[in-house]
A and B are shown apart, each in its own frame.
Chain A
Amino acid sequence: DAGVTQSPTHLIKTRGQQVTLRCSPKSGHDTVSWYQQALGQGPQFIFQYYEEEERQRGNFPDRFSGHQFPNYSSELNVNALWLGDSALYLCASSARGLEAKNIQYFGAGTRLSVL
């Protein structure tokens, strides 16, 4: 059973560019959440997708956008990159439902470096 998979694993971009990160949820999961983890910090919630709609959003600017596809996979897009966007981007998937407890399971992340 494949867990949460993210691609690419590493990415280097320059300021002002745009980036797209991808996530495939764990089998049987229908909800995808994205987090940003800066060095020495805990993950910070960006947004969550369920049924192809953004359901919750953290304190991130509109430069951060996302999408969820019918197969539950998801993309995170960041426009107009700046140095402060350098971080580990984590995708987590979970399953809604009374018995699921909605535990979020994480992928290994995409390390984004903005130069």
Chain B
Amino acid sequence: DQQVKQNSPSLSVQEGRISILNCDYTNSMFDYFLWYKKYPAEGPTFLISISSIKDKNEDGRFTVFLNKSAKHLSLHIVPSQPGDSAVYFCAARYGTASKLTFGTGTRLQVTL
């Protein structure tokens, strides 16, 4: 049972444009959501997170939106840069010290 789903395996965006990565979840107990970026041969790097009591969190070029009623979150990257090309994982947890449940990832390619 895939509790966190990233339905788009890949996304290609031009440099300078907006990248939107989507994530859906089924477990209503999840109360904290995170995005990680992963380059080849490296571990996942924490990007941004959001608590279920909020609907938006912003950090520089990265913004995460949470729609609890739809059990959907999205990561917006504006403007996209070639260095943003990586695999992006959405993750969720319930309880502060709990395990992370990951989606299968979306490969973002930012083209010149």
| Residues in chain B near residue A42, CB distance under 8 A | 4, 6, 89, 91, 102-105
Which residues of A40-57 are within 8 A (CB) of B?
A: 40-45, 48, 50, 55-56
Q: Which among A11-19, A75-83, A98-106 touches the partner chain?
A: A98-106
| Residues in chain A near residue B70, CB distance under 8 A | none
Cα–Cα, bound, A90→B36 (Å): 13
Q: Is A4 among interface residues, defined by CB-CB distance under 8 A?
A: yes
Are B46 and A105 in contact (CB-based, < 8 A)?
yes
Q: Is A31 among interface residues, defined by CB-CB distance under 8 A?
A: yes
Contact mask for chain B residues 36-61; partner A; CB cutoff 8 A; 1 contact, 0 none: 10000111111001000000000000
Given contacts A43-B100, A96-B97, contact A101 B49 (CB under 8 A): yes
Cα–Cα, bound, A103→B47 (Å): 10
Q: Is A58 among interface residues, defined by CB-CB distance under 8 A?
A: yes
- The residue of chain B having its C-beta at the shortest distance from the C-beta of A109 within the complex is B43
- The residue of chain A having its C-beta at the shortest distance from the C-beta of B96 within the complex is A102
Cα–Cα, bound, A6→B41 (Å): 13
Are A58 and B44 in contact (CB-based, < 8 A)?
no
Q: Is A108 among interface residues, defined by CB-CB distance under 8 A?
A: yes
Q: How far is the CB of A50 from chain B (nearest CB, A)?
A: 7
Cα–Cα, bound, A96→B42 (Å): 25
Q: How far is the CB of A109 from chain B (nearest CB, A)?
A: 5
Name the contact of B97 in the complex, choosing from A58, A102, A105 (C-beta under 8 A). Answer: A102
Top 7 nearest A-B pairs (CB, nearest first) are: A42-B102, A106-B43, A45-B99, A108-B43, A106-B44, A42-B104, A102-B96
Return 14 A-B CB contacts under 8 Å, by A number. A35-B100, A41-B104, A43-B89, A43-B100, A43-B102, A45-B99, A45-B100, A48-B97, A48-B99, A56-B99, A96-B97, A101-B96, A103-B34, A108-B43
Taking Cβ atoms with an 8 Å cutoff, the residues of A that contact B are: 4, 6, 31, 33, 35, 40-45, 48, 50, 55-56, 58, 90, 92, 94, 96, 101-109
Taking A42-B103, A48-B97, A56-B99 as known contacts, 11 extra A-B pairs with beta carbons closer than 8 A to each other, sorted by chain A number, are: A6-B43, A41-B105, A42-B6, A42-B89, A92-B100, A101-B96, A102-B97, A103-B49, A106-B36, A106-B43, A108-B42
